[in-house]
Structure 1
């Protein structure tokens, strides 16, 4: 087993500089994309909440989740396309790269098209029997579900057609396309509601935005890989791609709708939306890491893995603490007093799970890059029954808070298991030096102390903000002096200068 000392990750020669720097810059682009979309969502959501009302917004949340989670019908073909195409691209085999893309798309269509047909034909029975909705919302929910089923086809196909950009590490173009389409979707939903449209009109906007996203990625694919215009799926790739991609996903939103009410879903959805903010950084890093892990080998993988885990750990903890400090007044201003009352504790619980689960992106991407997505699938299958049972029981007993607890427990368990199996299959073990252990303990104490503020009866907004700012300043000082090496500090300064002044860092940026 390779032991990687977590502070000894400055050897630039270990990881090819062009790939390492592209991963870092790509992460920044992905983070910027998610950040812009998030800001747009935070601005638009209060208008959607008030325009639809709690119950209709609960249905809207369910439909949005189903667009995302029905995407399981791609059975991992977006990632499979990237991995197999990256291998072909590294060998310089452009026709093989195009074949990997088209094979993924064919497999996806074989699974997804029948599912769309079933959901479209049986949307009304699904809504009536699967969700506990007011009768006046059933017809609108059924129509929205059928439209969403068409929208997720475009969403899935876009994750395949962005493959030529991903394998060439063209993260900027991916980020721009996703940001433009995301902001258009988020911005137009409150507009159509203000103009008199309802739930169905909002879902039509989402489906249209997904279609636009697909068309833009398709155009980029044609520019970067002209061979993609000639469909050439390969039968011999079907089995390895299926073995790589198949997985199982479930959602606490659906369970909550079954055992509680659409209003409870709205409370949970608001809490979930805010809690997942902590995951925007690992999601950005994930998009850049996957093609890199698919191309690197040996000690280069070890170093990149250790650096990713370390970086995420340093960033996620203070972000989570600050979010806890400002959550209550933010919810009251942003969503209203009702949501501040009923969404606050689900938010705290979901934030804990998402903060821990954010680290799981690194071993997940590593296993996929090594071609061991089957291990991830087996873990998810093992987790599914305990999660369903706990989610059903906790939701029945405690409503939105119970659903949040079940989700967070699953995230924490999943993270522990993923790190364990990644260590086993990749033979990587991350260790810490005595100096760093002292720094970690100091940082943990520094971040934990401000949470005592939550025990006070309704501390004012200025007090919360002041404590949050002072905590961040003190944490950055401790992290800079005690947790980062001299080489890492120099590297951060170099990358910051390259990004700020738009010039290559030592001529190695390569993008």
Structure 2
């Protein structure tokens, strides 16, 4: 077995992914993934004003359906980054080319199936979802566009996975940021009062197309297209088994998140979907910030596992997790306390319910990301996504058991409370599963963590209360409300950093 000092200085062949440049890669990955979220945050108040809450609710519902179908893609999208990283580690450009070609062929087929289903079911769906009569024509047109939107969204994910796996994070940030800027400019220039939902769908499709073409053009140097164009039988079997397990996990994402919006759409007027969507958008945006570190960490851990096996990957986990856990927990507590106020600053006090939805969801998300974040990269890197599926289904079972009683007690907030409790219970179960697999263990939180987190939370909440009292609403006031949160997090980080210095990882033994 190689020495511990050597294992912490690995460099990924052909990608430049070393311990030394992992942090810049995380920053660039964050820029790439933050661009769509920031674009939505900026455009949401504008779209609500231009479209009206009912029409915005219809658009939110279409986005929920698109997100649901994107997750239910057979696990292909969630598996591409891992297999592209493996091809990159081996220098297998032909295998990467077959993977790109094969995934795009599947995505075109999925889009065609969804289009046929929408042609047959659109009248029934529009009626079942309680869409106002005056908006049913627009809703029907959006449903017919769902298939092409799905194909382009999945294709863009394929291009993104190719760049991530080859550590092309600077290029990825440029492609993602440029496409979002073009989309935002087009929306503000072309969307006006009236029936503009079909045009909005065309603009969204254009953004996905820009990401797909730009990503594949930049990543072409990592591909070689030769016959056979589709993956070989052994490659299909390996990828299919992994993707099937990822789909089991991905399906729970639908059950634990997207289904909440569908339940609301079935039981309440469609405008409540927009109210829920605003809170859900705020919570998922804040949850996503720590997750921006995943692509470079997964790429690096996959290469470490390819070279050093389970022991090397476990050692990598024990180097990263002692810093990840306290910082992410602090971030979660501070943002959970402040998000309800921030949503009211963003959209107005009339949408305070959206802020409550965001706060409840973010509580569950924070625990989930802190406990499962690095573990998720670990199990994916070592080819054990079945463990992720097991904990996800456990979360779903708890969620479904709690949904009815909590909804009867607390209404819409009860729906998201059941989701939050379910994912927290599942996260604890995932910790147990990973400890059984490879002895992955947690260390104690730093001694200063309670005081640092309490101080940061106080600064964030008091600052946002002052901003809310100004009576200003929109994107610029929201940015102002972010300053106290950033100040509090900077204070907590300064207090915690002395206790987050590298420590000797515990000895781990490779499981049979």
With the length of structure 2 as denominator, give the TM-score of the two structures. Answer: 0.81
Partner of 2:222: 224
- Cα deviation for residue 204 of structure 1 reads 2.0
Report the counterpart of residue 409 of structure 1 in structure 2.
Answer: 421
Alignment pair present for 1:256 and 2:267: no
Q: Which of 195, 199, 212 is equivalent to 2:210?
A: 212
1:295 is aligned to 303
What is the aligned length?
473
2:365 alignment counterpart: 354
Map 1:111-126 to 2 at 5 A.
Answer: 111-126=110-125
Structure 1 residues 32-59: Cα deviation after superposition (integer angstroms, max 9, x where no partner): 2334444333222111111122222122
Residue 477 of structure 2 aligns with which residue? none
Q: Distance in 2 between matches of 1:396 and 1:260?
A: 14
> 1:170–1:141: structure 2 CA closer, same or farther, 3 Å change rule?
same
Counterpart in the other structure of 2:437: 425
The one-character-per-residue Cα deviations of 1:266-303 (angstroms, maximum 9, x if unpaired) are: 22111112122322323211121222222112444234
Map of 1:183 onto structure 2: 181
Q: Which moved more, 1:347-356 or 1:12-21?
A: 12-21
Native 8 Å contact 1:99 1:231 kept in 2 = yes
How much does 1:102 deviate? 3.3
Per-residue deviation, 1:479 = 0.8
Cα 1:90–1:190 change in 2 (3 A) is same
Equivalent residue runs for 1:238-317 within 5 Å: 238-246=236-244, 247=247, 248=251, 249-250=253-254, 251=258, 252-297=260-305, 298-317=310-329
State the alpha-carbon separation in 2 of the partners of residues 458 and 292 from structure 1: 41
Measure how far apart 1:402 and its partner are: 2.1
Please tell me whether residue 442 in structure 1 is matched to residue 451 in structure 2.
yes
Q: Which has the higher contact order (CA 8 A, sep 6+)?
A: 1
> Contact between 2:446 and 2:496, CA under 8 Å: does it hold in 1?
no
- CA distance in 1 between counterparts of 2:494 and 2:451 reads 11
Does residue 34 of the first structure (1) align with residue 33 of the second (2)? yes
Q: What SS class does the counterpart of residue 295 from structure 2 fall into?
A: helix
Residues 1:207 and 1:229: Cα distance change in structure 2 (over 3 Å): farther
Q: CA deviation at 1:15?
A: 4.4
For residues 181-237 of structure 1, what are the alpha-carbon distances to aligned partners after superposition, in whole Å with 9 as ceiling and x for unaligned?
A: 233334433433226552222122112211222222222233332337972322222
CA RMSD of aligned residues (A): 3.4
For 1:372, the equivalent position in structure 2 comes to: 384
- Classify 1:465/1:99 alpha carbon distance in 2 versus 1 (closer, same or farther; 3 Å): closer
Distance 1:80 1:333 in 2: 38
Q: Which whole-Å deviations, capped at 9, do the CAs of 1:94-124 have from their partners, x for residues lacking one?
A: 2233233334444555555423421343223
SS at match of 1:227: coil
| Contact 1:106-1:233 within 8 A present in 2 as well | no
Q: Does structure 2 retain, via aligned residues, the 8 Å contact 1:163–1:221?
A: no
For the residue of structure 2 that corresponds to 1:431, the secondary structure is coil
The Cα offsets for residues 120-162 of structure 1, whole Å up to 9 and x where unpaired, read as: 4322322322x23323223322221221331111111222234
Match of 1:169 in 2: 167
Equivalent residue number for residue 203 of structure 1: 201
CA distance 1:466–1:275, change in 2 (3 Å): closer
CA contact (8 A) 1:259 1:396 kept: no
Task: Decide which of 485, 488, 496 is 1:479's aligned counterpart.
Answer: 496
Mark the CA change 1:20 to 1:380 in structure 2 (over 3 Å): closer, same or farther. Answer: same
How far did residue 64 of structure 1 move?
1.2
Equivalence for 1:97: 96
Q: Secondary structure at the match of 2:292?
A: helix
What does 1:35-54 correspond to in 2, within 5 Å?
35-54=34-53
In structure 2, what is the Cα distance between the partners aligned to 1:322 and 1:465?
A: 11
**C-alpha contact (below 8 Å) 2:111/2:147 kept by paired residues:** no
Aligned to 2:475: none
Residues 236-257 of structure 1, C-alpha deviations (whole Å, 9 max, x = no match): 2222212111211411211221
* 2:8 pairs with one of 9, 14, 38: 14
Q: Shift of residue 322 of structure 1?
A: 4.4
Q: 1:222 to 1:214 in 2, by over 3 A?
A: same
Q: Which runs of 5+ in 1 are unaligned?
A: 1-9, 489-511
* Cα pair 2:58 2:139 within 8 Å, conserved: yes
Once residues 426 and 123 of structure 1 are traced to their aligned partners in structure 2, the CA distance between those partners, rounded to angstroms, is 49
1:190 and 1:464 map into 2 onto residues whose CA distance is 24
Aligned to 2:232: 234
SS of structure 2 residue aligned to 1:292: helix
Distance 1:285 1:467, change over 3 A: closer
CA distance in 2, matches of 1:365, 1:44: 32
